[in-house]
A and B are shown apart, each in its own frame.
Chain A
Amino acid sequence: MHAVYNFVSGPLVWVSFILFFGGSIYRIVSMAQMAKKTDPVVYHFWSLKYAMRSISHWIIPFASENMRKHPAMTIVTFAFHICLFIAPLFLFAHIILFKASWNISWIYLPDTVADVMTWIVIGACIFFLVRRLTQPEVKYVTSFSDYVILAIVAAPFITGFWTYHQWVGFRIMGIAHILSGEIMLAAIPFTRLSHMLFFPFTRGYTGSEFGGVKHARDW
């Protein structure tokens, strides 16, 4: 158990960080370079002003027409994404690990708050799953990989929740938690989870075209 723990909490952390940060930089830089060659139009019509105008309408809940059309989805997806970032980044237990390893620390959440946020993430994942299984238009475009991606995201939260509450088998779950967190990080740049990286660019470019060229709103 020590060897496994040492491995997943040591070298594998580095591997996942390198894959996440390196991979993210690689994806963005290679996209930017490729665009220069194949889609220079993106650079030409890119407008920071209109990109920000569009992005802001899509990162504020209910600021776009489609969000108002799907209130449940909007609430769930915002709660999900907020908790997905805030809970792990400001979790006391994670900060203690950063402090012990790299001597850095920052503000943290009370554990009960983090607990609720974890519930929200897991609940949202269930919502997304049910949506995929029941909504015909979503089901139609759902492939196996979509379930895998959902599982990749849900796993660190389920295992983390389990471990925190010290339910039976928490040691295995703790290892699974670390491992699944690493898998999620590493998967972000190389799966459709990369929507996290590309959102500002795709939305921003469409915003630029709509705002700068077509004089229309895109929200």
Chain B
Amino acid sequence: MAESVSEGQSLIADEGLDKGLDRLTPDKIEKTINSILKNETGARLKTYVSTCIHCGLCSEACHVYLSNHDPACTPVGKIKLTIWEILKKKGKVDAPFIRRAAEIAYTECNLCRRCAMYCPFGIDIAYMISIVRRICHRLGVTPHYLQDTAQSHSATFNQMWVKDDEWIDTLQWQEEDAQDEIADLRIPIDKEGADIFYSVIAPEPKFRAQLIYQAAVIFHVAGLNWTMPATPGWDNSDMCMFSGDNEMMGRLKKSHFETAMRLKAKKIVMGECGHAFRSVYDMGNRWLGYSEPPIPIVHSIQLFSELLRDGRIKIAKKYDKTVTLHDPCNTVRGAGLHEMIRMVAHETCEKVVEMHPNREHNYCCNAGGGVINCGPPFKNKRVENNSIKADQLKDAKNRGAETVIAPCHNCHGGLEDIIHTYNLDMELKFLGDIIYECMEKPEE
């Protein structure tokens, strides 16, 4: 059974959390908490807390609890250990409490919102955990690795400390590589008035550059008029949204939107990432005062399904291994794209088997919500706390699935660790991987 932080101190050392504690004083804790409670929360938090009847039915929702059966890891258990205590003590909690609350909020909850669909009252538990993260952020008690990505966001406006010239260099490198395959292929940089402004998350240029290559091939073959920017604003990811740094979350989104607007693009298309999508249509846009993004935004899942539907991409030979589908929380429970994922999978693959439960009910990868970004210290816990996902994958495997399609970067990371740790021997693919592999390409 994986270690939870329900009783006493966690055994997991984290520089960010531990050093953060040293800077705390009782007075600072109390003032910070109460300032957030007073200025940033209100009716919703109050109603949620006074409506919860402590029935525990949300337990069924949480992959962490379903994996380790620790009652402290049910959604309501996590709220008991954080929000209830904070409200009961009116912010007069001690530093070890904050340490525990931070570890729970950052590493034992993915904000996947499955519990909101299992609570009879629809209480948004993820919202309350976000408040805990906000408090921890303001107190300076954030996991070291997660904070590093947030620092990178602040300094560079991308998540991975990618330098401005490194970005452009990567695009040109991918363009040149792709030209070996399709001679007239371009990755149009900073082109004004394109139909599509394509944005990705920083890990793509950093260590999954082939995804940009593949996207370029797909867009080229489909004959799309597209571009990527030469300036910051190209990264659509947003770890600040998860660290509790709302101010920075807003600035990142603003830069993303405004870069697309500067190029007078008709719409933004985002790569296969889930949290980035959440940040533009749900969280960051609202922080900036937009109920919807100020420029139309389409996820790759949707773009791919439209390209296949309209025959702009044709499949030469279907992917012949049996695939199963992982539904990412932010594009499925968060954006309802599940049928599009299936449409693309069925158009491109010989055989698709479903995981159960699926669609909105699919189990989280336990990597999202910034959890994987908390880095190596929490990796073992993260993987052990998702044995239910391993069971789910194993079941699909028993029904023939050799490949898992997960159209989300975080899910990829999480599932990769699960597949490896539980010796599942399954292959992981993005939708883009499959399309690129199976599509008709111009002959040389």
Contacts and interface: CB of A to CB of B under 8 A. Distances in A.
Q: Do chains A and B touch in the complex (CB under 8 A)?
A: yes
Interface in B313-333: 332-333
B225 interface: no
Contact of B120 (A42, A58, A213): A58
A141 B120 contact: no
Interface in A113-142: 135-142
A137 B342 CA distance: 35
B93 to A, nearest CB: 17
Nearest to A67: B120
Nearest to B357: A65
B31 interface: no
Interface string B252-275: 000000000000000000000000
A165 interface: no
Contact of B291 (A38, A45, A199): A45
A141 B54 contact: yes
A197 B291 CA distance: 28
A141 B77 contact: yes
A133 B116 CA distance: 25
A205 B50 contact: no
Interface in B170-200: none
Contacts of B76: 137, 141
Given A135-B56, A215-B336, A218-B117, A140 B122 contact: no
Contacts of B120: 58, 64, 66, 199, 203
B334 interface: yes
B107 to A, nearest CB: 19
B43 A35 contact: yes
Interface stretch (B57-65, B133-141, B161-169, B374-382): B57-65
B122 A218 contact: yes
A149 B52 CA distance: 13
- The CB with the most chain B CB atoms within 10 A, among A44, A54, A140, A141, is that of A141
Interface string A10-42: 000000000000000000000110110111011
B206 interface: no
A198 B51 contact: yes
Interface in A164-219: 192, 194-195, 198-199, 201-207, 209-210, 213-219
A140 B54 CA distance: 9
Nearest to A41: B286
Contacts of B430: none
B80 A141 contact: yes
B80 A66 contact: no
Contacts of A205: 44, 122
Nearest to B39: A38
B330 to A, nearest CB: 9
A143 interface: yes
Contacts of B11: none
Given A199-B51, A217-B117, A140 B291 contact: no
A195 B51 contact: yes
B149 to A, nearest CB: 25
Contact of A202 (B48, B60, B336, B357): B48
A2 interface: no
A34 B42 contact: yes
A198 B47 contact: yes
Contacts of B281: 213
B124 interface: yes
Contacts of A41: 286
A91 interface: no
A140 B121 contact: no
Contact of B65 (A34, A137, A138, A216): A137
B155 interface: no
A54 B122 contact: yes
Contact of A218 (B71, B77, B116): B116
A214 B282 contact: yes
Contacts of A135: 56
Given A34-B42, A38-B42, A146-B54, A216 B361 contact: no
A139 B117 contact: no
Interface string B104-142: 000000000000111011111000000000000000000
A34 B48 CA distance: 14
A195 B48 CA distance: 9
B38 to A, nearest CB: 10
B424 to A, nearest CB: 25
Contact of B361 (A65, A137, A140, A214): A65
B74 interface: yes
B50 A39 contact: no
B57 A70 contact: yes
A205 to B, nearest CB: 7
B335 interface: yes
B53 A192 contact: yes
Contacts of A86: none
B308 to A, nearest CB: 20
Contacts of A215: 335-337
A65 B80 contact: no
Contacts of A69: 60
Interface of B: 41-44, 46-48, 50-57, 59-61, 65, 69, 71-72, 74, 76-77, 80, 116-118, 120-124, 281-282, 286, 291, 332-338, 357, 360-361
10 contacts: A34-B42, A65-B118, A136-B69, A138-B54, A192-B54, A195-B53, A199-B120, A206-B124, A213-B281, A218-B122
The 7 closest A-B pairs by CB, nearest first: A38-B42, A215-B336, A206-B122, A140-B71, A35-B43, A138-B56, A34-B43
Given A34-B42, A58-B120, A202-B48, 11 more contacts: A35-B44, A38-B42, A54-B122, A66-B117, A140-B74, A140-B77, A194-B51, A199-B121, A201-B47, A216-B335, A217-B117
